Structure 1
């Protein structure tokens, strides 16, 4: 049996296991272990142990639970909700102001958490009911929450970029810096769309009543204090890291400690908050650890049989595709897989294949990490089976149907596609900041 056929059978077996509803790490790890035993015999039992020790010896792995913990402390203690109240008052006079405030809230939540699910949960439980009560169009604001939550896996400290760095063996600090401008660019494009759409169709987003906004300036300035804590946490966590005062792990520890102290200072560090935060942090961290472990074992088998070179030969030698045509095909494969899998599963499946191929084609793996992240977010926000669509349906109020959710995402997916095209045409959008920091 040829190595190409073995690689194809492994890939097909893994997809079949995933379609049966098995857990991601179980399906991938089972295929990796089974293929290793069949190919290498009893000596292959050492492969999972080698993968585990390689994972546990990777010091930046400590950042994962610390960042997740930080985000959940801020969410469970209500600090993110305070921030939304400030946006509500300061942007209330602007047509579509609450929707713009929601996008800004998502940027801040992304900078505090690094998970798109956390941003969507806050948007669906805090912002969405409030905007519905104010008479906003349900299709517009559902798209706002989904589009804004997509920033969670792009703006640092992005957990998905941390995972990409682990699997692709790229420096996480460079990936974070590379995600800053693309994330802010996409947020600015969302805001511009909301402003234009609400000017053309004012009935979609009424302004907040004068009675609610007729607040003394002193009270408005007090509301601004809600933004001080997230800003300080982000500065101490990311700013000190970029300036070179802290390492990546130290930065995550600073963020987690700052979030805990902030919750305690506001007298919200209750037993319930600590219990929920610890439970969710443990659940998310363990899930990611098992997935990475399975990915490393799967990647070791794929590397051993030469699957990457087989795919390179198929695309470049037999089909005679140019590097850019190969890259576009890779991006289209994400859109297809995104109908059934989330971003972590896609990363685990394709990283062992695509990352070495990206290097062979002459592309920057840091730039590709940001491109992958943006494309995957588009993939599972795309009908009919997008992962995010059903997650939104589970969190949304009863008045919002699945059809509304499908309709709401169309303009935001179009904007995200435009952002991906811009990043492909102008790679320096992602690469300028890492190169500037390195030069210093």
Structure 2
């Protein structure tokens, strides 16, 4: 049996097992380990074992549980609630201002958590009821929250970029810095869309009533500003220490985790229940990602040993005669297609062992390609019928927001994400300038 046929059987059996509803890491790890055992006998057992040891020895991976802990601590201690109230008061007088403030809140939450689910939980439980109560269009604001929460996997500290860095063997610090300007660009495009649409159709996002605006004195507004800026101050101090070289990436994540604890204590909200819930959720998320990384490395090692990457490179460049940029477009279209049916981690462990080495062999910057991949993951979060954020919104939204409403709400934001993907593809310096500048110093 040829190696190409073996690789095809591995891929097809993996997809078949995924359809049974088994956990992604279990399916990927099982197929990789079983194929290694069949191909190389008892020696093949070393491949999953080596993958596990590699994960345990990868020092930057310590940032993952520390950043997740920081985000959950701020959320469980209700400091995120203070953040939304600040944006609510300061942006409310503008048409669509509460929706714009929600995007701003999502950017800050993304910068303290690194997960989409955290932004979705805060947005759906805090922002959505307030927006609906004040007469905002339910379809528009549902899309705002789903799209805004997806920024969590692009703006540092992105957990998805940690996974990508492990598989692509790229420094996590470079990847995180590369996501800063693309994330801000996408958020700015969201804000422009909301502002323009609410200017053309004021009924979609009415400003706060005058009596409600006048209900806050300047002193109260400044007090809210101080409380809401605590998460931003934590992020700026933490990343500032890292960018200036005072601390390493892992040390910066520890600074963020400790700062979150101190902030919760200073607000009088550091209770046993808050600490218990934060640790429980952090362990759950961290263990899941550790297993996914281990399974992906095992599967990728077997694929690499079969020469699958070289076969695909020969197919595209030799047999089909495509240019490197045409191959890149095909890879992104494949990611977009898979995103209709799979989540970001499944796409990463299934396709990354093939596409990431291929992108490097074609001469593309793997840090820049990591940003392109992450944006396609954001799109996957929103594309029907199986977008991850769609189901989260359905579970958290009030009854008046139906599933058809949720599906309709995402299409303008998917278009904005595609535009961002095109801009970053045409102008790679948007992603690569900051990491090149920081590490050149």
Question: What is the TM-score with the length of structure 2 in the denominator?
Answer: 0.99
Q: Does 1:149 align with 2:146?
A: no
| Counterparts of 2:137 and 2:94, CA distance in 1 | 16
Which residue does the alignment assign to 2:182?
182
Task: Trace 1:225-374 onto structure 2 (pairs within 5 A).
Answer: 225-374=226-375
Q: 1:132-163, CA deviations, whole angstroms, 9 ceiling, x for partnerless residues?
A: 01010000100100110111001111111111
Moved more, 345-354 or 179-188: 345-354
How far the C-alpha of 1:236 sits from its partner, in A, is 2.0
Instruction: Provide the secondary structure at the position in 2 that maps to 1:130.
Output: helix
Which residue does the alignment assign to 2:7?
7
Moved more, 72-81 or 320-329: 320-329
Task: Trace 1:202-241 onto structure 2 (pairs within 5 A).
Answer: 202-214=202-214, 215-241=216-242
| Counterparts of 1:86 and 1:380, CA distance in 2 | 28
How far the C-alpha of 1:325 sits from its partner, in A, is 1.1
User: Structure 2: which 5+ residue stretches go unaligned?
Assistant: none
- Cα RMSD of the aligned pairs, angstroms, is 0.9
Instruction: Provide the secondary structure at the position in 1 that maps to 2:410.
Output: helix
User: Are the counterparts in 2 of residues 338 and 387 from structure 1 also a CA contact under 8 Å?
Assistant: no
How far the C-alpha of 1:272 sits from its partner, in A, is 1.1
| Counterparts of 1:423 and 1:264, CA distance in 2 | 41
How far the C-alpha of 1:438 sits from its partner, in A, is 2.0
How far the C-alpha of 1:295 sits from its partner, in A, is 0.6
User: Structure 1: which 5+ residue stretches go unaligned?
Assistant: none
| Counterparts of 1:86 and 1:142, CA distance in 2 | 20
User: Are the counterparts in 2 of residues 339 and 387 from structure 1 also a CA contact under 8 Å?
Assistant: no
| Counterparts of 1:297 and 1:384, CA distance in 2 | 30
Which residue does the alignment assign to 1:48?
48
User: Are the counterparts in 1 of residues 84 and 228 from structure 2 also a CA contact under 8 Å?
Assistant: no
Q: 1:152-177, CA deviations, whole angstroms, 9 ceiling, x for partnerless residues?
A: 00111111111111111100110011
Q: Does 1:396 align with 2:397?
A: yes
Task: Trace 1:128-207 onto structure 2 (pairs within 5 A).
Answer: 128-207=128-207
| Counterparts of 1:361 and 1:191, CA distance in 2 | 36
Task: Trace 1:108-127 onto structure 2 (pairs within 5 A).
Answer: 108-127=108-127
How far the C-alpha of 1:223 sits from its partner, in A, is 0.8
Q: 1:96-153, CA deviations, whole angstroms, 9 ceiling, x for partnerless residues?
A: 0000000000000000000011111110000000000101000010010011011100
Q: 1:225-281, CA deviations, whole angstroms, 9 ceiling, x for partnerless residues?
A: 123311221022111101100001101100000001100110101111111111110
